[in-house]
A = this chain, B = another copy of it.
Amino acid sequence: MTRRPASFTLLASAGEARTGILHLPHGDVPTPCFMPVGTRATVRGVTPTELHALGASMVLANTYHLWIRPGHEVIRALGGLHSFMGWEGPLLTDSGGYQVFSLREHTTVTEDGVRFRAPLDGAYRTLTPEVAVEVQEALGVDVAMAFDECLEWPAPRARAAESAARTTRWLERAQKARNAPERTALFGIVQGSMYPDLRVAHAQELSGMALDGYAVGGLSVGEERETMLELACLTATHLPPDRVRYLMGVGTPRDIVEAVLGGLDLFDCVLPTRSGRHGQAFTSVGRLNLRNACHARDPDPLDPTCACEACTGFSRAYLRHLVMSEELLGRRLLTLHNLSYYQHLTTRLRAAIADGDATCLRGLREESTRASKPA
- Chain A residues near B (Cβ < 8 Å): 40-49, 69-70, 74, 77-79, 84-86, 296-297, 299, 309, 313-315, 317-318, 320-322, 324-325, 327-333
Contact = CB atoms under 8 A, between A and B. Distances in A.
A317 B48 contact: no
A321 B40 contact: yes
Q: How many subunits of this chain does the assembly comprise?
A: 2
B328 A40 contact: no
A165 B4 CA distance: 81
A40 B327 contact: yes
B84 A318 contact: yes
Given A45-B332, A47-B329, A69 B324 contact: yes
Nearest to A320: B70
Contact of A328 (B44, B48, B77, B84): B44
A329 B78 contact: no
Given A299-B78, A332-B328, A317 B84 contact: yes
A216 to B, nearest CB: 29
A328 B327 contact: no
Nearest to A331: B328
Given A78-B299, A297-B77, A329 B45 contact: yes
Contacts of A44: 327-329
Q: 3 closest A-B pairs (Cβ-Cβ)? A: A45-B328, A42-B329, A40-B325
A78 B297 contact: yes
Contacts of A49: 309, 313
